[in-house]
């Protein structure tokens, strides 16, 4: 069955082929071939393009070429997707400010790794010369192909160490990333970003708690009311539509970059006016699919899916769920991502998941098998959780497939909140899980 992405591409007139790659799949009238990091150099279509003299470009090189000098790049271990979309919304607010004073709208774009809930897309094409908010991924050093006019670093923690080899190498890559920001641009460091990046940047740097800050003005079931304050400006108080205290950080960084970049050059817009509109824009952000995405309520079970696949992401998602669903038992259906990541962060995952009342673990989603070294599986994680005193099981007993794992969730009794967590294909359980919950006998 074709995925939603394939269906959307076909509806826009694009031909999509599936199955094993063959030389005949490569279109004869192609001018350039862009491949993902998952496609090896020996792929038949790759070889066909090279034989025909067609330029072959990796995704990361294509990203750099497409965004040129208009990119506003968001990097970090966590929060990139949400913050990039928030930045896009903040730039939309800036356009509203321009419209109010009779200036033409810029028409900013976005290129993000997750689907915007409201727009149902992950790409917005910018108008010529307009900025484009870009999610800048550190894997494969993709973000080092960008030459951004401005940037945000949300945080920096150990991740993708199967690729980098050491934390030092990862930190060096982030330092090189911020060094690529234009000297007349702006780097915004959120509260989780290390200060050594300030010294690596060739441009002005704003850090939360120094040049800008985010004030908390209340909370409504995990949704925070905030006010962003910077040098010579302050937004009004706005309520975020997306839950979680981590989104306070993300929203503040997005507003700060939009306002700070506007102050450069000869902009006729008052920073205070820009701050008001940028914050309102961020407050309109409805969320990203697979980020605290509500799947609905089925017979008293409130189901939420989140892409969380790093221990910190798991922890903060559980914390957000406790705020959004106060008093409800919290059950977690978790699909670990990569056997090497599961092994490396085994103790951290156990600690993060201790915030749940019950955990069902599916088998590891094995993306990038070829570079996995040390390995751990669902049974290892379940054993550690049980030693920590948690009610945990491998879904379906020793059969930890997604289908079998869903069966392990069906003895839920009474009103509960159920988090479906993971970055693999666990989202494909949506229909099966909700249907099976609906078919349960009432206890």
pLDDT tens profile 229-288: 999 999 999 999 998 888 999 999 999 999 999 877 667 788 999 999 999 999 999 988
Residue 373's pLDDT is 54
Residue 265's pLDDT is 64
Look-up: residue for tokens 């945080």?
A: 155
Single out the residue of 90, 219, 163 nearest to residue 368, CA to CA. Answer: 163
DSSP 23: G
d(CA 249, CA 83): 9
What are the tens digits of pLDDT across the range 98-116? 888 888 898 999 999 888 9
Mean pLDDT, to the nearest integer, of 296-310? 90
What are the tens digits of pLDDT across the range 8-20? 777 877 888 888 8
Single out the residue of 408, 426, 434 nearest to residue 336, CA to CA. Answer: 426
User: How far does Cα 199 stand from its chain's mean position?
Assistant: 26
Residue 399's pLDDT is 45
Residue 398's pLDDT is 43
- What is the DSSP annotation of 87-116? HHHHHHHHHHHHHHTTPPP---EEE-SS-B
All structural domains of the chain, each given as residue ranges with its CATH number in brackets, are 4-54 (no CATH), 69-283 (3.40.1190.10), 293-439 (3.90.190.20)
Look-up: residue for tokens 């079970």?
A: 301
Residue 295's pLDDT is 92
Instruction: Report residue 434 as tokens.
Output: 């909700």
d(CA 426, CA 86): 26
| pLDDT for residue 397 is more than 60 | no
| pLDDT for residue 396 is more than 70 | no
**First vs last C-alpha separation in the chain:** 35
| pLDDT for residue 200 is more than 70 | yes
Between 64 and 253, the higher pLDDT residue: 253
Instruction: Report residue 265 as tokens.
Output: 């050059």
What are the tens digits of pLDDT across the range 249-258? 999 999 999 9
Beta bridge partners, 230, equal 233
Mean pLDDT, to the nearest integer, of 83-93? 96
Residue 327's pLDDT is 92
Residue 231's SS3 state is: coil
d(CA 213, CA 230): 7
Between 295 and 443, the higher pLDDT residue: 295
145-159, 162-176, 372-386 — which is least confidently predicted?
Answer: 372-386
Single out the residue of 335, 299, 330, 354 nearest to residue 419, CA to CA. Answer: 330
139-143, 352-356, 363-367 — which is least confidently predicted?
Answer: 363-367
Residues ≥6 apart with Cβ < 8 Å to 370: none
d(CA 443, CA 27): 57
Mean pLDDT, to the nearest integer, of 431-439? 87
Residue 178's pLDDT is 97
- Measured CA to CA in angstroms, residue 312 lies from 37, 83, 411 at distances of 25, 17, 28
């Amino acid at each position: 069955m074709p995925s939603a992405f394939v269906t959307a591409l076909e509806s826009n007139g694009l031909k999509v082929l599936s199955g094993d790659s063959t030389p005949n799949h490569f279109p004869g009238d192609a001018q350039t071939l862009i491949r993902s990091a998952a496609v090896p150099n020996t792929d038949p279509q790759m070889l066909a393009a090279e034989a025909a003299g067609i330029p072959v470009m990796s995704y990361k090189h294509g990203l750099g070429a497409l965004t040129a000098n208009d990119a506003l790049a968001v990097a970090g271990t966590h929060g990139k997707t949400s913050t990039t979309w928030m930045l896009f919304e903040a730039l939309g607010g800036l356009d509203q400010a321009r419209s109010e004073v009779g200036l033409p709208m810029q028409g900013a774009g976005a290129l993000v790794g997750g689907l915007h809930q409201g727009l149902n897309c992950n790409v917005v094409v910018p108008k010529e010369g307009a900025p484009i908010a870009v999610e800048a991924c550190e894997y494969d050093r993709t973000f080092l192909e960008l030459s951004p006019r401005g940037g945000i670093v949300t945080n920096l923690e150990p991740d993708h160490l199967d690729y980098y080899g050491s934390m030092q190498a990862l930190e060096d890559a982030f330092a090189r990333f911020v060094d690529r920001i234009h000297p007349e641009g702006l780097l915004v460091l959120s509260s989780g970003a290390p200060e050594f990046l300030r010294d690596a940047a060739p441009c002005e740097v704003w850090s939360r708690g120094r040049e800008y800050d985010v004030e908390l003005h209340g909370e409504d079931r995990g949704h925070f009311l905030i006010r962003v304050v910077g040098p010579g400006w302050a937004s009004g108080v706005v309520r975020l539509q997306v839950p979680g205290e981590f989104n306070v950080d993300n929203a503040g960084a997005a507003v700060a970059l939009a306002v700070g970049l506007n102050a450069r050059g000869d902009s006729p817009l008052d920073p205070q006016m820009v701050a008001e509109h940028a914050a309102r824009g961020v407050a309109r952000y409805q969320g990203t699919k697979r980020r605290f995405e509500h799947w609905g309520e089925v017979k008293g079970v409130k189901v939420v899916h989140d892409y969380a696949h790093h221990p910190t992401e798991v922890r903060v998602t559980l914390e957000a769920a406790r705020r959004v669903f106060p008093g409800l038992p919290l059950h977690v259906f978790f699909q670990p991502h990569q056997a090497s990541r599961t092994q490396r962060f085994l103790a951290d995952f156990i600690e993060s998941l201790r915030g749940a009342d019950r955990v069902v673990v599916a088998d590891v989603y094995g993306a990038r098998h070829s570079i996995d070294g040390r390995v751990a599986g669902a049974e290892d994680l379940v054993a550690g959780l049980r030693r920590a005193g948690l009610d945990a099981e491998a879904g379906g007993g020793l059969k930890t497939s997604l289908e079998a794992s869903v069966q392990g969730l069906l003895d839920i009794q009474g009103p509960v909140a159920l988090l479906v967590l993971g970055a693999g294909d666990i989202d494909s359980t949506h229909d099966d899980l909700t249907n099976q919950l609906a078919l349960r006998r009432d206890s």
